[in-house]
Amino acid sequence: MKRRLFLQVPLLAPFLTAYAQTRQGQSPQKGFVVKSGQDRRQEELLIMGGQFDCKVSGRDTNGALCIYDTIRQEKGGPAYHFHYSQDEYFYVIKGEFTVKVGDDIFNLKAGDLAFAPRKVPHAFAKTSDGEAQMLVMFQPAGTMEDFFKQMAKLGKEIPKDQEKRLKKLWADHGMQIVGPPLKF
């Protein structure tokens, strides 16, 4: 190796390392399909009265976005909470939901979308009879996938007194519970 090149290699090492790390964390260069009723990672997550299927993983987007399709049987939803670092979107496909964001209450039907900015308390509740379906999106993804996996370990029903029982789990994933679930 020539002396000049030998001296330049240590100067390039940090840039080459950063480049390699960026390449490993890039979004896929190909599209993908996740079929109806299936999860991106073939996991079955039964949580809070519904089935949660990850359609777009944070691993797919280098942490920029995570999307879950939730098909819900039970009425109700999560405790009133906020995310320190994620915006959350609710897009109703079937049925009816009530979404509270800050002091505003929105009654959503198929085709409606509600937005909950980070650090603003929010909650949703399925309010219609029968099956309902909603896409829930988090931007950036944060640790929401791990959160849902941990929630699935607690059972498929909506936990009673969740605002007391689940505070630590939520806090461990960048959220804070600030009140009970919505009453409908």
pLDDT for 25: 56
Structural domain boundaries of the chain?
A: 45-176
Q: Which residues of 79-111 are buried (b: 16+ CB within 10 A; e: fewer)?
A: bbbbbeebebbbbbeebbbbbbbeeeeeebeee
Among 3.40.630.10, 3.10.129.10, 2.30.110.10, 2.60.120.10, what is the CATH number of 45-176? 2.60.120.10
pLDDT for 97: 98
Instruction: Give the tens place of pLDDT for each residue, 16-38.
Output: 333 333 344 565 678 999 999 89
Average pLDDT over the chain, rounded to an integer: 85
Instruction: Give the tens place of pLDDT for each residue, 3-13.
Output: 444 444 444 44
The whole-model pTM stands at 0.81
Short-list 96, 92, 138, 141, CA closest to 114: 92
